[in-house]
Each structure stands twice: as C-alpha cells, then as structure tokens.
Copies of this chain bind each other. A is one copy, B any other.
Amino acid sequence: MATTLLARINERLHQFSKTEKKISAYILNHAELIPNMTTKELANKADVSEASVIRFAKTIGIGSFKTFKISLAQELAVKEGYITDFSILQKKDSPYEMFQKVVHVNKNAIELIMESLDKKELDDAVTYLKNARKIIFYGVGGSSIAAMDALYKFTKLGYQVEFNLDFHYMLSKVPHFNSEDVFVAISMSGRTKDVLDLARLSQKKGAKVIAITNINKSPLYKEADIRLATPNVEQDFRIGSITSRMTQLTIIDSLYISIFNSIGENVLDEYQEARDHVVKLRR
C-alpha cells in the first residue's frame, strides 16, 4: 500500500542529510502552505538553497517540485481536520502566510460555535427578538463592530433598533424600556462594566437581556436571560479579538436570517425598495 507523501517523508527522516532534514521539518510542520509556495520561498523558510528543494522532491520520488506541490495539495484535500497550531505567529512569516493563518483561524472559530451555542437558547432568542417592540444592541471596542452590524441588519428588517457607542446616551434610552423590549449585550469576556450596567438596568425595567458572550462563568453569562455562547478560542493575544468578532458576527447573521425567514414576507417590499436604492448608487 502506498503511504502518503507526508508519511513517506516522516519515515525516511533518519536517512536524510542535514539539509534534507531541514526541508522535511518545514514541510511536515507547514504542509498546507507548501502547495502555494515557490522553490525560493520554501528554500528561504527552510534555510536551504533552491537547488536543495528541487533535489529533495526528487529524493522522495517526485519528479519535480511542481508535481510535488500538486500531489501534496491532493493529499491534504483528502486529509480531514489536519490541525497545525497556526496561532503562533512567526516573525519571518510573509503577509500571505499570515493571511493563510488568519483564514484558518477564522474558519476554525466559526466552526467551534457549533460546539458552544445552545439550540434552545437560540430558539428563545429568535422568539424574543421577533416579537420585540424595541431592540437595543450594545458592545464596546471590538464587540461594537457586531453591534453595528446588528443595527444595520435589524433596521433592514424594519425593527425599532438602536445602538450608540455613547454610554451616557444609552443611559438615557434604557430607562424607557419595558417588558416588550430586548437588550442584546455583546461582550467576549462578559465582564465589561458599561455593558453589564446597561444589561442590569434593562432587566430592572423588565426587558429581556440576550447575551452574546464567551461560554464561561462571567457576570454577564450568569445574569443574562438568554445566553448565546461564543467559544473560548485561545489565541495569541495579538489576534484573539479577531476570532471572537467572527463568532459574534456569525451569531448576529443567524439571528437575522432566522427572523427574516420568519417575517420576511411582511417586509419584502420595503426590503426590495432598500436594495433598489443601493443599486442606484452603483455605476
């Protein structure tokens, strides 16, 4: 039985020269990157010459580096869930390598929501939002992006929805809440003071508080009426906020699509009208 390319490289490691070992190590640790690399790039990364890369491909039985890349690409396509820890950024990564890692990390984060989000909590959230008189979204920093996106989408759906970064302005809004209203608190940590204050004030007024927050025992997580849990994605501190925003946005998307699906016929005319205006702004 023919083993895979990577397996073949692995089992012949002890036979390799020092230079071949350097190339092998890089390939085994960065397999996904190889199909889009040039000989020069791989040579630089492995700290060998381009000629050595060409020789290596021949040594392991592939006629050319070009073919080596094609074969490896095919093998990786088949191999499910090939997980390498991309989160540790290396100083000498090129922009394209970092881009590939970002793609990987973002895909993984979105996938992980499947593990953290509770079906019933989502159903309940959709039900409350659908029937809400007024909706307020609130998040700060990176989470404000998701709040902004929600504002945009729920406005399109015809809801009385609001989001404003000005905490004091929000302090004037929330007291007018009642039991028909919904406050959506967005906070990765679940410990952001302004978000917590507004959530608690909303509850005092009888509104439902939906939290989009990481699945852990934060104050917001504990106190919210409905918890739409985002996964705890342990990342390098430099990119941690990227993945949480992706997961928050995916949840916002899901709420939007669910409600659209439920009430869509009622707003199709207005919805189409808005789209027509958008098209008019194009060339």
B238 touches A67 (CB 8 A): no
**Complex: A73 Cα to B66 Cα, angstroms:** 12
Assuming the contacts A193-B282, A264-B238, asked whether A102 and B254 have C-beta atoms less than 8 A apart, the reply is yes
A42 to B207, CA, bound (A): 34
A70 neighbours in B (Cβ, 8 Å): 35-36, 69-70, 73
Provide the residues of chain B in CB contact with A264, threshold 8 Å. Answer: 238
Q: Which of A259-276 contact B (CB under 8 A)?
A: 260-261, 264, 275
- CB nearest to A219 among chain B residues: B283
Note all chain B residues with C-beta closer than 8 A to A145. Answer: 145, 148-149, 152
Residues of B within 8 A of A69 (CB): 70
* Candidates B191, B242, B281; contact of A192 at CB < 8 Å: B281
Nearest residue, chain B, Cβ from A90 = B261
Give A contacts to B, CB under 8 Å.
35-36, 67, 69-70, 73-78, 89, 91, 93-96, 98-103, 106-107, 110-111, 113-114, 117, 119, 122-123, 125-126, 140-142, 144-145, 148-149, 152, 189, 191-194, 196, 219, 237-239, 242, 245-246, 249-251, 253-258, 260-261, 264, 275, 278, 281-283
Residues of B within 8 A of A238 (CB): 257, 260, 264
CB-defined contacts of A192 to chain B, threshold 8 Å? 281-282
Complex: A107 Cα to B75 Cα, angstroms: 19
Are A98 and B237 neighbours in the complex by a CB distance under 8 Å?
Answer: no
In the complex, what distance in Å separates the CA atom of A237 from the CA atom of B191? 37
Residues of B within 8 A of A122 (CB): 95-96, 99
- Listed by A's residue number, 17 A-B pairs whose Cβ atoms lie within 8 Å are A36-B70, A36-B114, A73-B74, A77-B77, A91-B261, A93-B261, A94-B123, A100-B114, A101-B257, A103-B114, A107-B110, A110-B110, A142-B149, A142-B152, A145-B152, A242-B253, A246-B249
Expressed in whole angstroms, the Cα–Cα distance for A145 and B148 within the complex equals 7
